[in-house]
Structure 1
């Protein structure tokens, strides 16, 4: 019988999928301590993990662990090199939250286009005037550069195009012969960002993307450009973007993610009037939370049954139940 260790609360429908099987034993630590995790990891065959970072020593002490099933898509709370060396696989909920995140990115895009932060500020301070220089713009006909063309990037581009945005894709991992929807163009050089009115980031954090948007690249942006980030905070050099906002390139940075989460209360991004922020909540819709719980549970069951979809696999399992 396989033992599944579930950390932190998940939607009841995800738990129900696991509980319906009589060939697994479930250990659910809804408010786990380090001591409780350390005690349970050596007996775990599967780990269902949300955003928590489990100490690397616990993985070393888990000889039975076959796979980590991520309740989400990002894997920056995992040390992939360590898990690969230990033969521990990783599966993600690739099809569960892309709609929620794409919609959130669209919300941030429209809020930035209409300069919602400033509009709210002036009204709440008693100013009902609508100056022509408030900085609002239309998304229609805006050159919109989408960084990363996976599920979320595709869903975002589809929604932006419906508003009349002109879509340009930058994704160095997209096959050269990949077909793009009608009207989309492919950027072959990252410096084409200089032509963009709106930049939307949908890239994971990796050694290749860390601080991709640094002072040098930000300096290439046109005045008034908007940067939207629902990928990972570390893709943007946050100190550089604060400095760039002072020059108007970009004019607004709308982000759901920070390099360090939660950010410090005195983080300059939180204090800058050109920044729109949300608390890494893009995927946290009622529907998406349920889908992520169910998919992360189903990935475990599918692996047990030998039917796990390759689309869900980030790292293949390299060992059996006995290590």
Structure 2
């Protein structure tokens, strides 16, 4: 009997130790690492695969249509924008992500960017290392207490951020058309329109997923609504912000600054305007990362494959729930299976 073929389409880690630790319990599974970059490479490596684990390799309709046996695709992380969900659903392929592995890490990082920018930590550090011991180089700095943090999106990560900033005296508003206003009020957060959020917020932190509807949603029109000293933080996806409009808003002083963990195209190019802007703090898409989060993400991505291939269950973190109309699997009951030590 041939083994079940699980292909990791691509990864940026030193090895596949956590994935191997999951699958070594199942002798019927063969784990293969491919490091694909193009759709053609994915098709060649994965045509006869029973399952895929994906990071950045493109899984468009042309790829999905060429998968002969695939039952499940899991993705490292939260976003599934590398995968054509409609094509996968039409073919009866379950798509799963890992939505809960880095809630603390991302909210911590957004808070770190907020404090670093508002207290001008990066500028002060640079000045001291250049032998300039003078607090005046950071002027002006304003008291954080009483300022308004506006959250674009109010899922688990921004909810965690809201909890962390409220003891600092920040007031919190949020824009999320899918979240009940009454529930937000219980958390001490006022839901407002996106335009109102941009008008009233001193700091705006973006936490929206990348979809066709959110691409470029933070645009020139919204920058014109923001305060002149407003700070924009983005730890979600770069293309959610219209980058050209952001550069212009920063250049003209329409807003005060930006603290970005993600940009439109990564890695950043050597001639990118952000690199020469004193009012921009950059980190290299690291908000998600801790050793613990990396282990949890990779383990849970592998477990999503186990759910389907071994246990004949829908994956715990099923994204395309419409696939239930095209496949017959059991409801998922994996609480002990997913327990992280």
Tell me the CA shift for residue 139 of structure 1.
3.0
Q: C-alpha displacement at 1:244, in angstroms?
A: 1.0
| CA shift for structure 1 position 92 | 0.6
* Within-5 A mapping of 1:1-323: 1-7=3-9, 8=11, 9=13, 12-29=17-34, 31-32=35-36, 37-54=42-59, 56-131=61-136, 134-304=139-309, 305-308=311-314, 312-316=317-321, 317=323
Per-residue Cα deviation, 1:166-203 (whole angstroms, up to 9, x for no partner)? 11121112135535434221214533321101111000
Contact 1:255/1:278, CA 8 A, preserved across alignment: yes
Contact kept? 2:42, 2:57, Cα under 8 Å: no
What root-mean-square deviation, in Å, do the aligned CA atoms of Structure 1 and Structure 2 show?
2.4
CA contact (8 A) 2:184 2:190 kept: no
User: Which ranges in structure 1 are unaligned for 5 or more consecutive residues?
Assistant: none
How far apart in 1 are the matches of 2:110 and 2:87? Answer: 32
Counterparts of 1:221 and 1:49, CA distance in 2: 38
Query: How far does the alpha carbon of each residue in 1:183-236 deviate from its partner, in whole angstroms, 9 at most, with x for none?
Result: 221214533321101111000111221111111100111121111000111111
Q: How many residues align?
A: 319
Q: Does the CA-based 8 Å contact 2:19-2:299 persist in structure 1?
A: yes
Which stretch has the larger CA shift, 15-24 or 266-275? 15-24
Q: Please, which runs of 5 or more residues in structure 2 have no aligned partner?
A: 329-341
2:237–2:263 Cα contact (<8 Å) kept? yes
With structure 1 as the length reference, what TM-score do the two structures score? 0.89
TM-score by length of 2: 0.85
Deviations 1:101-125 (A, max 9, x none): 1111111111111123322332333
Q: Is the 8 A contact 2:148 2:172 kept in 1?
A: yes
